[in-house]
Every structure is written in structure tokens, then in C-alpha cells.
Amino acid sequence: MPKVTFNNKDKSFFNTLKASVDQYFAEQKIKKTGNWRLYSKTIVLAPAAILLYSLLLFSSMPAVVAILLCCVLGFVIASIGFNVMHDACHGSYSSKSWVNETMALSSNLMGGNTYIWKFKHNIVHHTYTNIDGVDDDIALSPLMRQCSTQKWFPPHRYQHIYGFILYAFTSLAWFFVMDFTKYFNQKVHTTPMTKMTTRDHIIFWISKLLYVFLFVALPIKVVGLLPWVIGFIALNLTLGITLAVVFQLAHVVEHTEFVHFDQQDHMKIENEFAIHQIKTTANFAPRNKFISWYVGGLNYQVEHHLFPRISHVHYPEINKIVKQTCQQFGIKYNEFPTMQQAIASHYRMIRELGKKPVETVAA
């Protein structure tokens, strides 16, 4: 693993925060994992995806309606990823590990891979959040410059324009390029992955073949090549931009901090781990109930990064405790009241980062 450590000798902030959060769950007499609010989403979203998929394959409808339904299916699949897959991969969907493992496989049905996702997201991203040179989530260079320490290229002048178009291809790149790149290199950006078992390899290939059968081969056979191409693109562009925007708003916005890691040196972050998470993360639209429902609490990214093994259904209440503790310790808490404000902040940030850096002249 990268030689990056945190100043955890005195974890006074997190110890105080954790004690308050634990007290909340003890007083409420509830588990930290999912409850009926999460399970009801699963009951709504999974059948909705199956119904839309079946209608698109086996029902006759005007082309415009079919394209719109493909887009709706993209939104539904994204929400399954935000709600079901994400919680399950973190082990917070259920207190039963087999339930978490089963629900986490929804990632494979979406075209991804649970093993690679867990290593990329749970281990690398959650441990080294916004650390340039380690965090794979901000490693889009040279296509995108997401922090000031990344090398500037002339096309970056226009990244605030082409960036959102690029985001739309997220799912296609994820399923057909990035997963295979990580699989064959056995590395997530600069971090070698833990060794995959024979079972992990078998699941990887079977799930990729299953995805190709369900979303490529079978639709082409049933509806024809051209309708499939149009529908597949519509579905994935919708899915891709939805996934990308939600995850970008968590860390690549104004006021969040970034750290540069030189691969040659050992680095010690001056803050304790929990404070680093707060400084590098932001919430958006915390009071918008629909967005909170749809994105699986990922608009409460601060709480998620502090307590990834607590289900997102509890974040609105934990949010109050975190804010109070941050105020007590004098720690700035990053939050945008609306999603529109967060998107605008992300736009301004990537536009500013797209400008050619001013060269400094050595004295």
C-alpha cells in the first residue's frame, strides 16, 4: 500500500464523534445497518428495472417511447447502484454478511465487478480521499485536471465544456475498459490489488459474459442491431452522467482540499484520518428528500466517509451530530444547500483548473 499515514496519535475529534454516534444508536435501540427504508427501495427499484428491461425487449412501442424508457432504465440502474450495491459493498445493507455479499453482486449485473469495486472504492478511495497520485477517483488526467497538482495540458482549457460530455461515457468506460485494465494490471491507479482467488476470477468472467448476454446479445437478437445501438447508448449515457455527477459533487468542488503524494517519499498527513475526510469531502442538497432517496444518501458524503459501515438511511440524523462536533472542535464543514449549487461549484472549479497555471520564476 502507499506510504501515506495520518496523525492518529491523538484522535480526540473522532473519539468524541464516535462516542456521540454510538450513544445515538444505543438510545434509539436500532442497528447501524439498513432497515425497512432501505429494503423498500430494493423492492421498488429491482422490479422496476426488470419491468423496464422486459418492456423494452418484448413490447412493441414507438421509437421515441423506447428511447425514453431506456433513459429511465439508466436512472433506475444508477439508483440501484447508489442504494443497494453501495451499501452492500460497504457491509451496511444488512447485519448478515451473506445478504451483503449477495446484494453486492448487483454491481456485476450492472456490468461492473464487486471485487474490483470494493478495492477501488472501499480501500483506495476511502483511505486516500483526494490524495493526488493515489486516489483513483481523481485520476482522470490527461483527460481532466481535477486538482492543482496535476499536470496541465492545453485541452484542459475546455474541460468545463467537454467534461460533462465525458462524464456521460462513465459507465461504458467503467464496464468495458477500466475494469479490464485493473483486472489485467492487478492495480488500481498506483496501488497493487490484493490477490484475487480462483472464485474471484470465475465471478469476474462469468458476470462480464452475463452482462454481454443480457445487454448486448439478447437485445440484438430480439429487437435488431440498430434499435439496440440507439437504446444501449441512451441507457448508458444516462447512467454514466448520473453516476459521474453524483460522485464528482462529493469531492471535486470548491472548498474541498487536495493533497499531492510523491510516490518516492513517505508522507504523513498532519490531520487525523477523520479530519482529513471532512476537509476533502462535501455534502449537497441534504434537505432534499427526493435526492436523498434517489442517490442513497450519497449527498451525505461527509457522514459516509466518516462512517462507511453505517447504512445511509441513518445519515440525516448522524449529520446533526457530525455538524455539532465539528463546531465544537472548530472544523469547517463543507455543504451545499442544493444540488444546483454543488454542480455550479464543480463547474467553476474545473473551469479554473483548466486555465494554464502561472509559471513561477526561480529567484
Tell me the average pLDDT of the chain.
Answer: 95
Q: Which domain holds residue 137?
A: 4-353
**pLDDT single digits (tens) 213-246:** 999 999 999 999 999 999 999 999 999 999 999 9
Query: Residue 156: inside a domain, yes or no?
Result: yes
Number of folded domains in the chain?
Answer: 1
Query: Residue 359: inside a domain, yes or no?
Result: no
User: What band does 264 get if pLDDT is binned at 50, 70 and 90?
Assistant: low
Asked if pLDDT for residue 346 goes beyond 50, the answer is: yes
What span, in angstroms and rounded, lies between the C-alpha atoms of 144 and 36? 40
Query: Residue 360: inside a domain, yes or no?
Result: no
Query: Residue 49: inside a domain, yes or no?
Result: yes
What span, in angstroms and rounded, lies between the C-alpha atoms of 76 and 36? 19
Q: Which residues of 56-84 are buried (b: 16+ CB within 10 A; e: fewer)?
A: beeeeeeeeebbebbbbbbbbbbbbbbbb
**pLDDT single digits (tens) 47-90:** 999 999 999 999 999 999 999 999 999 999 999 999 999 999 99
**pLDDT single digits (tens) 277-309:** 999 999 999 999 999 999 999 999 999 999 999
User: What is the pLDDT at residue 84?
Assistant: 97
Query: Residue 121: inside a domain, yes or no?
Result: yes
The answer to whether 279 and 247 are in contact (CB under 8 A) is no
Among 115, 329, 97, which Cα is nearest to 205's?
115
User: What is the pLDDT at residue 116?
Assistant: 97
Query: Residue 57: inside a domain, yes or no?
Result: yes
Question: What is the reported pTM?
Answer: 0.94
Asked if pLDDT for residue 363 goes beyond 50, the answer is: no
What span, in angstroms and rounded, lies between the C-alpha atoms of 61 and 198? 44
Q: Angle of helix 63-80 relative to helix 225-251, nearest 10 degrees?
A: 40
Query: Residue 295: inside a domain, yes or no?
Result: yes
Query: Residue 265: inside a domain, yes or no?
Result: yes
Q: Which three cell numbers stand for residue 258?
A: 487536495
Asked if pLDDT for residue 360 goes beyond 60, the answer is: no
User: What is the pLDDT at residue 361?
Assistant: 46
Side chain identity at residue 185, one-letter code: N
Mean pLDDT, to the nearest integer, of 311-325?
A: 97
